[in-house]
Structure 1
Amino acid sequence: MSRGEVAFAKNVDWSVNNKPELHSDSLDKAVAGLLSKMTLEQKVAQMIQPEIGYLSVEQMRRYGFGSYLNGGNTAPYGLKRADQKTWLKYADEMYEASVDGSIDGSKIPTVWGTDAMHGHSNVFGATLFPHNIGLGATRNPALIAEIGRATAKEVAATGIEWVFAPTVAVVRDDRWGRTYESYSEDPEIVARYAGRMVAGIQGTYNQDYLEGYHRLATAKHFIGDGGTENGIDRGNTVIDERTLRDIHGAGYFSALQAGVQSVMASFNSWNGERVHGHKYLLTDVLKGQMGFEGFVVSDWNAHKFVDGCDLQQCAAAINAGVDVLMVPEHFEAFFHNTVRQVQEGVIPLSRIDDAVGRFLKAKMRWGLFSRPKPSMRVESKHPEWFNAKAHRELAEKAVRQSLVLLKNNGHVLPISPKSRILVAGKGADNIAMQAGGWSVSWQGSENTNADFPHATSIYQGLRQQVVAANGAISLSVDGSYDIKPDVAIVVIGEQPYAEWFGDIKTLDFGQIDNESLAILKRLKAEHIPTVTVFLSGRPLWVNKELNASDAFVAAWLPGSEGQGVADVILADANGSVQHDFSGKLSFSWPRYDNQFTVNRNDKQYEPLFPYGYGLTYKDSITQGAVSEIVSKQTEQVDTDNIPLFVRNLSPDVKWGMLDGSAPLALVDGPSGISPDGYSLSMQSVNLAYQEDARKFVWHSSDKSASAILHFVTPKSAKGVLASRFLELKMRPDVKKDNTFRLQALCSGDICSNSVNSSTLATRLKKGVWNDVSIEIGCHKINSVSKTGLDALRIVTKGLASLAVADVALVKSPKEGSQLFSCP
């Protein structure tokens, strides 16, 4: 921060009024006594948070880490569909290992943190409430508190103590992939909701605060996450401090007033400086001026981006004010490096004591030291809380209240359940689409209806009521039918996504899905009254779809209780309204496809539907046709670099596996994939971000197997060869033989270039990421082979393990990379 900014900062008051008095002399004394008996190693262990996909029970016993987490794609013992009892069993094992002082000498209990984003959403079978963007449309703070309490109960039933929620971001650019995690573009709604959600999760101060089933809550991500330039996740928020406070700080004021115990630092930068290394924001503002008495936790490997840091060490983040470091994979190295940095004076011992003291106080406030292991706690002996009937009914109520009616020409809605109804569209019987990201898995993209037991799709909810009323209903994804229906309900929208992967460059829904409009147009041409139910994590430009619809409902991401949609759009058997629309837009709806930033109180404000818009059945507003003109968006295309697997897979490639004589098996999803009977497995690991790399493990020494990056669409070898080099990052495993060949651009048995194991062994360092550039075009290949074209093959016979990331076709090799030229 420049001198000018520091001077300006003194004019901004961050003080929080009406904050509960959490300070306690007896608590201070208890923590001071505990700290005085702890070794440096025990203190540092309290500050480090590993992830269960990489942490073993034995490592917990050896180090006594203060906390651990499950990421969006991991579950106990690698079981995606682990039940409530299995989660509780795992919690017991980690707890017992943490209080076993036989190795590390520490008996301080650990706590388990989880992203309960919209209910206990990572757990198979949990109740999934609408995502925050839908809850913002309800305008019902009391409902938010109820959902917080229900979430806390389901989390308690699995033995987990700490919730990474609520997200209190205020979104300014709807292209951001986390828009649906925000309640509103309006800081007033975010401020009104944040404190209520915290109170629901933690309990109300001076009543049931941190007692019984209540869990530790986390306000995130401090600060400016929703304001990055161009809506780029983890990007740069460029605004003055007063705007940072008034817009992006709103939710933290009410969260602190509710006594929130944890605040998660944000990935983004503020005016070019990473928040994770920003001492002024984390220490001077949050802990100083705002008087935050809890602890600051980092985001997933976010410390890596602070100047002077990497995955395995970050004194700068600790010195800036981060108290608990989320280090999913490299926690052992981070532990030893942090101990060394304290011993060398790089990190003051006083900073360690402050960080650990803050965390221990939160543990004591929650009563951790007086509670037994998870399965023996009073609140854990309520398995009936998990996916309770009352929670499902609450979620259904939330769905009803979140729906926003944008168009209802000719009063097509409500629909008589005695009608002949056609239900169409990709989202009609697709619970994964209505749940979105952070639902059983991180991105939610590989889920099926089978991953959501007890849940109800929108079609299933409609069918229940139509059948009960003796109406006729049929499901046809493409909108085809044998008998002409009285009315069609078409459920369309975005496919699931989560942070980072969900960033988009245009709001034009037609560029995301160009098939759904054809269904709507065909039904319109056949004079069938059509209702569109739109599933999305943000407002999108849908002018064409609006014009092709008689009625249009913004349903957001409603979660597991799809029947809530039927409750509103269907009349009862007597033709009366069951539940009227009450939802109001908490995000302005764009008039133009390039209207990325349209927010309430903008000086120039011209949305298609303004903030607060939402029709009811009493309204008689006919929506005229809206402009379908698409803007000319010019984008600089980098023709020198073609990403294949950078962050995620490009649309024309997939990972595949060859095992002996078995056929090529293409795999979907980022983790835990291994076709039946194959000796080769793939799992997601981290390079720079969460799950942006893939690790392949060969389990058999008897046969040759290959990991392959395969072009799934026809590709001209001549076109690919114009790039000249295949570039990637590779990390050979230190514990295996790693006798493998690396082949680039292959078709059939012919590869453009092949590097043998002996050459690789002498050039690549084990256990670290190596930059690799392979020249292509060395051998002529058949671009029309029946087997198609492979960009990369990693072939081995024997036990091996390696990780791969950032695969791209480039014109010239990266400076400093290991270059493998044509032989």
Structure 2
Amino acid sequence: MKVSLALLGLVSVVADSYDDQAEAIVAKMSVNQWIAQMAQVNIGFILNADGSVNTNAITQCAKLGVGSFLNGAFTPSQWRTLVSQIQSIYAANNAPPALYGLDSVHGANYVTGAILSPHQINKGSTFNPSLVQNSAFITARDTVAGGVNWVFAPGLDLTVHKRWSRVYETFGEDPYLASQLGIAAVKGIQSAPGVAASIKHFIGYGATSNGDDRGPAYLNDYQVLNYHAPSFIEAVKNANPLSVMASYVSVNDVPMVVNTHLTVDLLRNDLGFNGVLLTDWEDIYNLNYVHKLVNNNQDAIAMSMSKSSVDMSMIPYDLSFISLAQNLVNAGTIPSSRFRQSAKRIIKMKLQMGLYQNSVPGGDYVGLVGSAADRQAALDVARESIILLKNQNNVLPLSGQPKIFLTGPSIDNIGYLCGGWTWLWQGVTDNSKFPGSYSIKGAFQNLYSDQSKISSLQGVDISGVTTDSLNTAKYMASQAQYTIIAVGEQPYAEMVGNTPDATLPAGQLQYIRDIASTGTKVILVLVQGRPRLLNGVADVVHAVIDAMLPCMMGGQAIAEIILGIVNPSGRLSIT
């Protein structure tokens, strides 16, 4: 007990020290500098039209004291050059070091050369906190290898509506599972020196009432506290995330960036969270643009500052938040103390991250990006995440190397295996960005010693449109003992993935029926970020594998499971 009390005392002293240091720094700043700390701007603001760095724009940000930047996609060395330039200019202008954030949601997906892991929905299906924590550490390590210090992850939303386009960014629908894996992910991210996690999206985002991304949620306090809050409560209590990202969602018709009940009463008072609360993209201005609660962006800032505990605005296109907030202070609409409070939280977070000692951390990690060990770690997650949904008459695993026909829109496409947030916001749709990795087809070819036993044809595209002769596809299937058909979704992220119908495209479903009619034994592989309706085709095939979005190492994992090299052990995290 004496040891425990001593440790608690040490933690308190450290926390008080950061608080005291932040107070000393903030006390020497002007009101305008407090406001500027709350501004986060997109990388486009500091780049020229040709993509080169605009040092004048960075200097402008430094002189104002802009708190943070976000976005971009570069190699580790290119990232380090950019971040070093920013921090150098900031130091020359006596500005606090800058935060730089990225949506590193399944590996360092904006760091060229990184090995990307399966998406969060796959990690949920592993039920394995150790795998999740290690994967999160690799994500943070590869991100900070570029000097980027803020990871907008993990997602602690729960899946409620299964058409929601961000299902794959969750651990599933269970509060306990999301809590335990969320703790592991935060610990993994923040174990990389100089990196802060941002748990997201607070709160109720997955409860979209219409299935669309950013659809309104209608929740009573019981539902919030017993279903949506536990993952955030447990992360705050057990993993100390340094930041939280607010949700786009309106809960009971109140947008999160003006939601006193949730961002003040629940987050600050009940959960005791004292870190930084960041908005999502342009979300304060959405009070004007989307919700139409105000007539201009200045009034949007006033409403958010008076009703929420938001600390940083992802503006993101310009510096308008600063001048508009200054107007509010000058007019006496919002007291300067409101901005001081948020600036102090932001400065404290920078102190906790060690940015005042090393503003460009991660230099020792550059050589580890894309390592063989990372590839193995991603493969381990993929293997443990893939779910066997049907195995009629124990058709799987296949014995030896039987004659197989490989077909379907996802059979030879690593981009489809990876989904959204893969090198680009909306992902990629081919194999060119994944050197050293295999599609499902490529993995079978790599594992088979006799290539004459493998035939392949795409058959239909991801929209269900025929790409090859159906008669040819049926003939090739009839000549094979087994046919592996990989179907599913094209990559998408956020509202771009909205769909009014959960059914897979009719052309894909008919193609499965046509191939099954030949008498070949069909193994159906689902490559998708959310559950999709199959309209009975599961009944005409012999095996169904739910691969979800296993990404770069998913092709190998799928082939290994079908061939019996690896036992499928994934479990559904969504009913």
TM over 0.5: yes
Q: Which of 210, 221, 242 is the equivalent residue of 1:241?
A: 221
Distance 1:583 1:410 in 2: 20
Distance 2:15 2:447 in 1: 56
CA shift digits 1:436-470 (9 cap, x unpaired): 011111112x5432123333212212211113x67
2:340 maps to 353
How far 1:311 sits from its partner (Å)?
5.0
1:94 maps to 86
Shift in alpha-carbon separation, 1:61–1:447, aligned structure 2, 3 A: farther
Shift in alpha-carbon separation, 1:309–1:267, aligned structure 2, 3 A: farther
Aligned residues of 1:218 and 1:260 also touching (Cα < 8 A): yes
1:251 maps to 231
- SS of residue paired to 1:517: helix
Distance 1:357 1:493 in 2: 47
How far 1:202 sits from its partner (Å)?
0.6
Q: Which of 439, 460, 463 is the equivalent residue of 1:457?
A: 439
Q: Normalised by the size of structure 2, how large is the TM-score?
A: 0.89
Distance 1:192 1:163 in 2: 19
- SS of residue paired to 1:167: coil
Distance 1:386 1:459 in 2: 26
How far 1:242 sits from its partner (Å)?
1.8
Aligned residues of 1:46 and 1:324 also touching (Cα < 8 A): yes
1:516 maps to 508
Q: Which of 17, 27, 36 is the equivalent residue of 1:45?
A: 36
Distance 1:565 1:109 in 2: 45
CA shift digits 1:592-637 (9 cap, x unpaired): xxxxxxxxxxxxxxxxxxxxxxxxxxxxxxxxxxxxxxxxxxxxxx
1:427 maps to 410
How far 1:388 sits from its partner (Å)?
1.7
Aligned residues of 2:102 and 2:152 also touching (Cα < 8 A): yes
Q: Which of 371, 375, 391 is the equivalent residue of 1:392?
A: 375
How far 1:21 sits from its partner (Å)?
5.5
How far 1:155 sits from its partner (Å)?
0.8
How far 1:474 sits from its partner (Å)?
2.6
2:52 maps to none
Q: Is the aligned partner of 1:308 residue 2:294? A: yes
Q: Which of 421, 424, 437 is the equivalent residue of 2:420?
A: 437
Aligned residues of 1:124 and 1:453 also touching (Cα < 8 A): no
The aligned amino acid for 2:68 is S
How far 1:32 sits from its partner (Å)?
1.4
1:62 maps to 60
Question: Greater Rg, structure 1 or structure 2?
Answer: 1
How far 1:134 sits from its partner (Å)?
1.2
Aligned residues of 1:165 and 1:219 also touching (Cα < 8 A): yes
The aligned amino acid for 1:308 is V
Aligned residues of 2:285 and 2:315 also touching (Cα < 8 A): no
- Could you say which structure has the higher helix fraction? 2
Shift in alpha-carbon separation, 1:480–1:126, aligned structure 2, 3 A: farther
CA shift digits 1:667-701 (9 cap, x unpaired): xxxxxxxxxxxxxxxxxxxxxxxxxxxxxxxxxxx
2:21 maps to 30
The aligned amino acid for 2:59 is R
Aligned residues of 1:168 and 1:194 also touching (Cα < 8 A): yes
Aligned residues of 2:111 and 2:146 also touching (Cα < 8 A): no
The aligned amino acid for 1:96 is S
Aligned residues of 1:122 and 1:441 also touching (Cα < 8 A): yes
1:566 maps to 559
Q: Is the aligned partner of 1:220 residue 2:200? A: yes
Distance 1:160 1:172 in 2: 33
1:293 maps to 274
Deviates more, 1:156-165 or 1:119-128: 119-128
Q: Is the aligned partner of 1:415 residue 2:426? A: no
1:231 maps to 211
Q: Which of 138, 144, 151 is the equivalent residue of 1:163?
A: 151
Aligned residues of 1:117 and 1:165 also touching (Cα < 8 A): yes
Q: How many residues align?
A: 532
Aligned residues of 1:417 and 1:471 also touching (Cα < 8 A): no
Deviates more, 1:230-239 or 1:22-31: 22-31
Q: Is the aligned partner of 1:557 residue 2:544? A: no
The aligned amino acid for 1:507 is A
Q: Is the aligned partner of 1:261 residue 2:242? A: yes
How far 1:348 sits from its partner (Å)?
1.4
Aligned residues of 2:406 and 2:454 also touching (Cα < 8 A): yes
Q: Is the aligned partner of 1:335 residue 2:335? A: no
Aligned residues of 1:303 and 1:310 also touching (Cα < 8 A): no
2:463 maps to none
1:605 maps to none
Aligned residues of 1:42 and 1:63 also touching (Cα < 8 A): no
Aligned residues of 1:400 and 1:579 also touching (Cα < 8 A): yes
Structure 1: gaps of 5 or more residues: 1-19, 76-81, 204-210, 572-577, 589-823
1:498 maps to 493
Aligned residues of 2:445 and 2:451 also touching (Cα < 8 A): no
CA shift digits 1:552-590 (9 cap, x unpaired): 10100111112111121113xxxxxx22111111111xx
Shift in alpha-carbon separation, 1:548–1:149, aligned structure 2, 3 A: same
How far 1:417 sits from its partner (Å)?
4.8
Q: Is the aligned partner of 1:585 residue 2:572? A: yes
Aligned residues of 1:222 and 1:265 also touching (Cα < 8 A): yes
Deviates more, 1:514-523 or 1:423-432: 514-523
The aligned amino acid for 2:341 is D
| Aligned counterparts, 1:370-381, within 5 A | 370-372=357-359, 374=360, 377=361, 379-381=362-364
Shift in alpha-carbon separation, 1:441–1:137, aligned structure 2, 3 A: same
Q: Is the aligned partner of 1:173 residue 2:161? A: yes
CA shift digits 1:15-62 (9 cap, x unpaired): xxxxx8587332222111111211222221111000002334422211
Shift in alpha-carbon separation, 1:340–1:311, aligned structure 2, 3 A: closer
Aligned residues of 2:528 and 2:547 also touching (Cα < 8 A): yes
Aligned residues of 2:40 and 2:312 also touching (Cα < 8 A): yes
Distance 1:439 1:21 in 2: 40
Distance 2:345 2:277 in 1: 9
How far 1:539 sits from its partner (Å)?
1.2
2:353 maps to 366
Aligned residues of 1:303 and 1:309 also touching (Cα < 8 A): no
* Identity across the alignment (%): 31
- SS of residue paired to 2:199: strand
Distance 2:434 2:413 in 1: 10
Shift in alpha-carbon separation, 1:422–1:182, aligned structure 2, 3 A: same
How far 1:255 sits from its partner (Å)?
1.4
How far 1:402 sits from its partner (Å)?
0.9
Q: RMSD in angstroms over aligned alpha carbons?
A: 1.9
Aligned residues of 1:408 and 1:550 also touching (Cα < 8 A): yes
CA shift digits 1:296-338 (9 cap, x unpaired): 0000001123333755651222331110110121x32221111
The aligned amino acid for 2:209 is E
2:98 maps to 110
- Could you say which structure has the higher strand fraction? 1
How far 1:274 sits from its partner (Å)?
0.6
Aligned residues of 1:222 and 1:264 also touching (Cα < 8 A): yes
- SS of residue paired to 2:210: helix
Distance 1:335 1:123 in 2: 30
The aligned amino acid for 2:264 is T
Distance 2:126 2:366 in 1: 30
Distance 1:22 1:166 in 2: 28
How far 1:182 sits from its partner (Å)?
1.0
Distance 2:569 2:296 in 1: 49
Aligned residues of 2:196 and 2:243 also touching (Cα < 8 A): yes
Structure 2: gaps of 5 or more residues: 1-10, 48-54, 288-292, 460-472
Aligned residues of 1:418 and 1:471 also touching (Cα < 8 A): no
| Aligned counterparts, 1:191-230, within 5 A | 191-203=179-191, 212=193, 215-230=195-210
Distance 2:117 2:162 in 1: 21
The aligned amino acid for 1:421 is I
Aligned residues of 1:417 and 1:465 also touching (Cα < 8 A): no
- SS of residue paired to 2:536: helix
- SS of residue paired to 2:141: helix
1:696 maps to none
2:466 maps to none
